[in-house]
Chain A
Amino acid sequence: MNVLILNGPNLNMLGTREPEIYGYETLHDIEQRCTAKGATLGLTVDCKQSNHEGQLIEWIQQAISNTDALIINAGAYTHTSIAIHDALKIFSGYKIELHISNPHLRESFRHVSYVSKAVDAVVVGLGASAYLACLETLPEILAS
């Protein structure tokens, strides 16, 4: 089973960006752990990050033909990007929206998510370990 983990703008700054909110782990650490965890679960995990909306859309489109599940943390594009929403609607595999913090408990401009409307599940506020929890739960979800 192929899983794509997509991270959006500013997530390349994890570890240094507001660590009291986002934690001290770097994105590289998280991606390494996800790839290793995926291998133990029989999942092939591919991790990508971009600060550019169009690049994220390209990767979602490319995933349509070869990916079973997508975990996306679209960062601030979550609250603005109808284009990412539309690309996600085209992707027919299982889709999880993930945020390290809980946007619903933060500024009101983070309460709207275009991504939530286009995915199967939303996981927020569980910290960086949410990536692993999602990967570990994917086989159970897809088997049901």
Chain B
Amino acid sequence: MNSKKILLLIFRSETGTPLTAMETIEQQCARLTDQLNIGLDIHVVSTLESLEKIPHLVDDTDALIVSNEDYAKNSNKGAAVELGIFEAIAQTGIPIIEVHERNILSEVNSRPYLDSPEIGAGLVSGMGPAGYSAAIRALARKLKGNAA
């Protein structure tokens, strides 16, 4: 029985070509969270309807990974701000890590997607799909209070 749960939110455009297939990400993350005995939910955010579900999903989780896929750039960000999604996330106080497969910070003037100190997210940028693994490992260690 997993007592702690991570929610992976993937902001993905309905059009365009993602760097990594959703199925690959799901399998990789599920394998790792099984090993670490942590629960995992994955929610793809590509429509307004899927965006509106976020506050409810976040209420039921212990940690959050947010991935705004690079090809989608600022997909849904304006709508998320309007709906108060990020405020709702910030109020939960749960640990949050933003993951980018590509190193967005190697680009001039590039900024994290979650750049609000109130949210206080960590960031993994440029590790490819392994970035999800790094984020899951860091969160699992934090949730379990396990330094080793």
Contacts and interface: CB of A to CB of B under 8 A. Distances in A.
B120 interface: yes
A137 B123 contact: no
Interface in A112-128: 113, 116-117, 119-127
Contacts of A120: 103, 126-127
A104 B110 CA distance: 11
B125 A122 contact: yes
Interface string B90-132: 0000000100000101100001100111001111111111110
B130 A140 contact: yes
Contacts, number: 96
Contacts of B122: 102, 123-127, 130
Contacts of A121: 103, 124-127, 131
Interface residues of A, number: 31
Contact of A144 (B103, B106, B130, B134): B130
A33 interface: yes
A132 to B, nearest CB: 7
Contacts of A122: 103, 105, 123-126
A137 B130 contact: yes
Interface residues of B, number: 30
Contact of B128 (A37, A102, A106, A144): A144
Nearest to A117: B106
Interface stretch (B4-12, B54-62, B136-144): B136-144
B66 to A, nearest CB: 13
Nearest to A97: B105
A132 B126 CA distance: 17
Interface of A: 25, 33, 37, 96, 102, 104-106, 111, 113, 116-117, 119-127, 129-130, 132-134, 136-137, 140-141, 144
26 contacts: A33-B148, A37-B148, A96-B127, A102-B112, A102-B123, A104-B115, A104-B123, A105-B115, A105-B116, A111-B111, A116-B103, A119-B126, A122-B124, A123-B122, A123-B134, A124-B122, A125-B120, A126-B124, A126-B135, A127-B142, A129-B142, A132-B141, A134-B134, A136-B133, A137-B127, A144-B129
